[in-house]
Amino acid sequence: MDTRKTLLERVLHAVSFELLAVAICAPLLSWLMGKSLGHMGALTLMMSLLAMGWNMAFNTLFDRAQRRLGFERTLAVHALLFEGGLVGLAVPLVAWWLGVSLFDALLLDIGILLFFLPYTMAFNWGYDVLRARWFARRAVAMSC
């Protein structure tokens, strides 16, 4: 059975990743920052959309640069450039939305990054486990 990911599955994966992150982060940040859930929910949604947009734009630009300049892609360089760009975009947004200094917004962004490292690992592990179970059940059902 072919278990390659379709474009629709990739979109559903990305959207479910972001929606769960917003559902976790908005209440947590609301409590930590002493702001309303609506205010922090809007911020986490904006940051989610920013991250998804930056992901698409960055990877397109990175791939073009790699083809044009012929350098080898390394995980460290790719990740550092991606995260650096995302910090550069997110910190001013957070500072403006919360009315805090750029430094305070940077500290909050670092905290969010520390959340997303284990969250990303856990989400993708869980997704892969559930996806494998789904395909296994589908294979059994199709063989009957």
Q: What is the pLDDT of residues 51-69, one digit of tens each?
A: 999 998 999 999 999 999 9
Tell whether the model's pLDDT for residue 3 goes beyond 70: no
- Can you tell me the distance from the alpha carbon of 62 to that of 65, in angstroms, rounded to the nearest whole number? 5
Query: Coil, helix or strand for 36?
Result: coil
In percent, how much of the chain has pLDDT > 90?
68
Mean pLDDT of 6-10: 87
Is 2 inside a domain boundary? no
Task: Specify if 27 maps to a domain.
Answer: yes
Name the pLDDT band for 10 (thresholds 50, 70, 90).
Answer: confident
For the stretch 98-104, contacts whose Cβ atoms lie closer than 8 Å and that sit 24 or more positions apart, written own/partner, are 98/33, 98/35, 98/43
**Would residue 81 count as lying in a domain?**
yes
**How sure is the predictor about 92, in pLDDT bands with cuts at 50, 70 and 90?**
very high
Number of domains in the chain: 1
Range of the domain at 128: 7-143
